[in-house]
Amino acid sequence: MRGAARAACVLSAAALVALTVGLAPAAQADSSSPAPSGSSAAKVLRIGMTTGIDNPNIWALNSATEFEAVTLQYDMLMKFSDKDLTAAPGLATGCDHNADRTVWTCKIRSGVKWSDGVPLTSKDIAFTYRFVIAKQFGYFSGYFTEGTTFETPDDTTLIWKSPTPTNGPMVPAWVYIAPEHIWGKYMNADVKDITSAKVVPVVSSGPYTMTGATPGQNWTFTRNPNFWGDRPAYDNIVFQLYTNQEAMVQALKNGQIDVADGLEGNLLPAVKALPNVAIQKVVSDFWVNMAFNFGGRAGKPLPALQDIRVRKAIEMAIDKQKIVDTVYPGAASPGETIIRPLSVFWHLDIPDDKVVKYDPAAANALLDQAGYTRGADGVRVDPKTGQPLKIRMPVSDDTAGSTPVGQLVAGFLKAVGITVVVQPVTAGKMYDLQQAGDFDAYIWYWSGDPDPNYQLSVFASSACPDLSDGCWKDPKYDAMFAQQQTTLDPVARQKIVKDMQQYVYDQIPGIVLAYPNALEAYRTDRVAGLTSTPEKDGYLMPSYTYTSLVTAHPATATSAETSSTGLPAWAWIVGIAALAGIVVAVFRRGGRSGDEQD
Amino acid sequence: MRLHYIGRKVGWALLTLVFILTANFFLFRVMPGDPVALLARSQRLSPEALQHQRELFGLDQPLPLQYLTYLKQTLRGDLGVSIISGDTVWSMVASRLWPTVLLVGLGTALAAMIGVAAGIRGGWNRGSTFDRGGLYSALVLYATPEGWLGMLLLIMFAGMLGWFPAGGYSTSSGSGATDVANHLVLPVLTLALGYVGQFMIVMRSSLLDVKDEDYITTARAKGLPDPLVRRRHAVPNAFLPSFTLIVLSFGFVLGGAIVVETVFSWPGIGLLTYQAIKDQDFPVLQAVFLLSSTAVIVANLLADVTYGFLDPRVQDV
């Protein structure tokens, strides 16, 4: 038994020492490759992120940070313009089409090289598109109509042939161009082998390439010496993951990071109070949706919600401004249409005279007029079915602020005699409820491409029963949707898209409750030159283009130097030596006194 | 030590492992939702693309067939590919293993050493200022939520004083050992403070139990000095419960520390588990639960076998 006590002490002490000593190899082993930022002169931009890069492989995109990492490293055929996210010259300087827009000829820049020095040609672009179609990478393959082919008569020409008229290259197709000399050998490989291929250091064409990755922690990007555009000021960019938002704010305050990306709205007051910190409120990239169930799936919808007068009364009874002020203070705007404001070219600002204004008295009057009289308990009753107006409303936990928004909505509707039962659920459960049609209304989110086609498609009848919220079906909307798909002139299409937004706003298959802002913050004393995409209230980080991180530069000559936090190496050596000395002294003293006195 | 005793213990451990293999598979599939469907909104996938993803991961197959495939693959050492990241689960788990061992191992070792030492001193001098202060502190720390404690330390030492980094494992890829050590201080301190109470309370309590035993009185009657009675006669006999706790605690090391890893953005198994649960990433969930369960089973087995060695009477039970 005496041995047991000593053994346990020795076990714990040995674990302590072994793990402490193990720090050195740990620190060495965490890097896929050494980052050339070791030089004290290297200029490093540190960006705090709230989601990480699970896999740096371009074919395994999932999180927002993974999209940003890929945007920083790769080019598109035509890129998103920094002004309004419409098509602008990327690897192609421009694309021309034939009369019926079935053949597009794109002129590719000459002299462009991959980061490893291999020339980038039209063949890389054709390969990427064929690869995407063959492997059905979902987030890329939707840009190609079935039967599309690609030809490369020379290194600077790409011919895009579609069996039907298309705007393909000019949407623009959100597909990053990958090097054929790296990925060509995977053309016949299984998708799992492709997505699990090790890619760091990355070969890319953009301003930076990933050269180091510590999974779940940080990712280092090094300036691409062969980048075809302007030379970026920073030698390295580091994405640092913070799973705790408060910690990211503290890191920004202490200068451990220069930029904080993906801040939550509730931290806005704390960030505003920091000196030398600027906040970028990005115009909404997603919207909070209150959708109604119209049937079409297994579950039975609430008959009263099929009556547009009830839906209109509900919209009038909801104070969107109060939702914004209460749940997203200073970090959102009231919602209007299904195309979010970030798609500057396509978004419709509803004219003032057509806006449904918050007016509970008018909502009550409308419901009275429609025959939905209040019962003894104050809850209105459907005159056709005799059912009380009681709405089961799940709210999904992957939508920021969904539960308090749901509770506010319940309060607003109670005032007009409608009961709402709010049910907070996980995103997984929400999917089950949606697919089963087991809800009367729900609160979830929508986001989409800068191009409106995908977002508009989920309101078409053909989206039922898969992507549609509540299986709203409207032949007039379907006709408009088909028309915008075949209208290739951007201005003519813009008009149809705006008409569609107005139509959905008037028909109320759901209510766009809020447009929450994305929030970015940066240290003005450390970094300057960040630019916004789109031009007005856009992203500073590479969500759609890398422009901002090419123009960014240190605010002063010394502001890009890494700020050091923590004890220096000598302090650690002294501390560990002192600790070891104490442990040895205690053991020796114990052993000697025991031997002498036993 | 009798071989059949060890054989029996190993047999039970293997049976438990088989049960866990099965439970691992069905447990996560009871969760509502479809992991692939969760990609629909974030990746704007069409219904055809979703179906393709389901086929890719075998999620379109009947559950019994999926179970058989899972068993076959796991027994071959193939943990599969993450539904979300597309990376191999082995490589994802392997990259998180060392940070977790470093953090939870150091935290547990520190807590065990300090807690046991404080428990011995407090228990032997019951009612002293050290004992009372130590006991109250231990109870408070034991009851304190680790997340809250971590946030306090983070705001104080990283935010207000700026002594240590606000989170993470290193400043950038390829950072030195000092950098990692600086990142390690606050999370290890949080864990050690969170764990120390249990070690102290258990040690103190068992020392109080043996303090008035006849053999202690005999040792004193022999004229042995008090420190020697404590070290040679009281502590060794009172140590068994603490020994079990220490060995079992090390068994939990591989499970990670979800809350502390999340607060300090520590890239360990705990954080991977948290993310995999959120994403319903079945292959990753199965792997981390299998790993942590196996570690606990092995630690239990070690404790059982060592127990039999320390106290041969238990071999007959």
pLDDT at A593: 45
Q: Report residue A580 as tokens.
A: 């070891």
Bridge partners, A391 (sequence order): A420
For testing contact with chain B, the best of A244, A257, A457, A579 (most B CBs within 10 A): A244
pTM score > 0.95 for this model?
Answer: no
pLDDT at A476: 97
Give the burial string for A63-99 (b: 16+ CB within 10 Å, else e): bbbbbbbbbbbbbbbbbbbbebbbbbebbbeebebee
Q: Report residue A244 as tokens.
A: 């705790």
Q: Do B46 and A142 touch (CB under 8 A)?
A: yes
Sign of the C-alpha dihedral computed for residues A66, A72, A77 and A82 taken in this order: positive
Q: Where are the beta strands (DSSP E) in A215-284?
A: 218-223, 236-241, 259-263, 277-282
CA–CA separation, B42 and B28 (whole Å): 22
- In chain A, how long is the greatest CA-to-CA distance? 105
CA dihedral A442, A448, A453, A458 (to 10 degrees): -20
Q: Do B172 and A212 touch (CB under 8 A)?
A: yes
Angle of the B63-75 helix axis to the B3-29 helix axis, nearest 10: 140
Decide: B284 and B94 in contact? Cβ < 8 Å.
no
Q: Considering only CB atoms, which chain B residues are within 8 Å of A62?
A: 39, 42-43, 84-85
In chain A, which among 183-202 make CB contacts under 8 A with chain B? 191-192, 194-196
Q: Do B237 and A219 touch (CB under 8 A)?
A: no
Angle of the A402-414 helix axis to the A320-327 helix axis, nearest 10: 140
A145 touches chain B (CB under 8 A): no
Decide: A504 and A356 in contact? Cβ < 8 Å.
no
Q: Do A428 and B168 touch (CB under 8 A)?
A: no
CA–CA separation, A237 and A221 (whole Å): 5
Other CB atoms within 10 Å distance of the CB of residue A225: 10
CA–CA separation, A10 and A20 (whole Å): 15
Quick one: which of A439, A545, A396 has its CA closest to B40?
A396
pLDDT at A468: 92
Taking the CA of residue B17 and the nearest CA in chain A, the distance in Å comes to 26
Decide: B214 and B156 in contact? Cβ < 8 Å.
no
B217 touches chain A (CB under 8 A): no
Decide: B135 and B204 in contact? Cβ < 8 Å.
yes
CA distances for A345 relative to A498, A519, A529, A575, B55, angstroms: 10, 22, 25, 61, 38
Check residue B160 and report its DSSP letter: I
How would you class A307 by CB atoms within 10 Å of its CB: exposed for 0-12, middle for 13-18, buried for 19 or more? middle
* Residue A53 region by backbone torsions, left for phi larger than 0, else alpha for psi between -120 and 50, else beta: beta
Alpha helices in A292-446 (DSSP H): 308-317, 320-327, 360-369, 402-414, 427-436
CA distances for A326 relative to A266, A270, A332, A355, B191, angstroms: 10, 17, 10, 21, 36
pLDDT at A571: 75
Three-state DSSP at A475 gives helix
Residue type, B18: V
Three-state DSSP at A222 gives strand
The list of chain B residues with pLDDT below 70 reads 1, 33, 38-47, 173-175, 312-317
* HSE toward the beta carbon, residue A360, CA cutoff 13 A: 12
Check residue B32 and report its DSSP letter: S
pLDDT at B175: 67
The list of chain A residues with pLDDT below 70 reads 1-40, 558-566, 583-598
Q: Do B38 and A192 touch (CB under 8 A)?
A: no
Taking the CA of residue B137 and the nearest CA in chain A, the distance in Å comes to 22
* HSE toward the beta carbon, residue B287, CA cutoff 13 A: 26
Q: Report residue A411 as tokens.
A: 């309060």
- Tell me the ipTM for this assembly: 0.74
* HSE toward the beta carbon, residue A163, CA cutoff 13 A: 5
Check residue A186 and report its DSSP letter: G
CA–CA separation, A189 and A176 (whole Å): 20
CA dihedral B161, B162, B167, B173 (to 10 degrees): -160
B124 touches chain A (CB under 8 A): no
Q: Do A246 and B243 touch (CB under 8 A)?
A: no
pLDDT at A34: 36
CA–CA separation, A413 and A419 (whole Å): 7
pLDDT at A467: 86
Decide: B257 and B107 in contact? Cβ < 8 Å.
yes
Quick one: which of A50, A244, A49 has its CA closest to B264?
A244
A568 CB contacts (<8 Å, ≥6 apart)?
B178
Q: Considering only CB atoms, which chain A residues are within 8 Å of B180?
A: 23, 26-27, 30
Rounded to the nearest angstrom, the gap between the alpha carbon of residue B109 and the centroid of all alpha carbons in its chain is: 12
Other CB atoms within 10 Å distance of the CB of residue A1: 15
Type and span of the H or E element at A419: strand A419-425
